[in-house]
Copies of this chain bind each other. A is one copy, B any other.
Amino acid sequence: MSHNTAEINRQLRKAGFRVTPQRQLILDAVCQLGEHVTPEAVYDHVHRIAPTLSRATVYRVLHFLTEQRVLAMVYMADGRLAYEMSGPEPHHHLVCRSCDGLLELPHSVLRSFRRAMESQYDFEIDVSHLSFFGQCTDCRDSAGA
């Protein structure tokens, strides 16, 4: 468990929300399961510990924690939705549509783009996590051969 539970709980309470065992379990699950965690994976994991915890709650909590910026939504190549912890330093992915491979993109790469949107459009992009889809070197090479 690498997230700061106490800090997160304080933040939620301060905003008038409640810290429930369900929310903690689900957060722990995402944290342990790593990157690109699907709702079903969370449910499976959590259901073993708390068999009465319902699917609906998993979905609701996942949404909720995303709104609170504790988690970040991640789009998979197939269009499905997954989640992961949204750490203090955002990171991004280049997702290859052909091989489903992931390339990490440091946040610094997005900084200038974000600033440009702010100055040109007065729009504040949420960059907690972005995924870009396309083709990696290897797949492009083998396709073009």
In the assembled complex, the CB of A57 is this many whole angstroms from the nearest CB of chain B, namely 17
Q: Does A17 reach chain B (CB closer than 8 Å)?
A: no
B140 and A134 contact, CB distance less than 8 A: no
Chain B residues with CB below 8 A from A116, complex form: 109
A109-B116, A122-B136, A123-B134 given; name 13 further pairs at CB < 8 Å. Answer: A73-B79, A75-B75, A94-B121, A94-B125, A103-B121, A105-B121, A113-B113, A117-B132, A124-B134, A125-B133, A126-B132, A126-B135, A130-B132
Copies per assembly: 2
Q: Does A23 reach chain B (CB closer than 8 Å)?
A: no
Q: Per-position contact with B for A70-99: 1 when CB-CB < 8 Å, else 0?
A: 000101000101000000000000101100
In the assembled complex, the CB of A18 is this many whole angstroms from the nearest CB of chain B, namely 23
* Interface size, A (range): 20 to 34
A123 and B135 contact, CB distance less than 8 A: yes
Contacts from A to B (Cβ < 8 Å):
73, 75, 79, 81, 94, 96-97, 103, 105, 109, 113, 116-117, 120-126, 130, 132-137, 140
Chain B residues with CB below 8 A from A121, complex form: 94, 103, 105
A136 and B123 contact, CB distance less than 8 A: yes
CB contact between A123 and one of B103, B117, B124, B130 (< 8 Å): that residue? B103
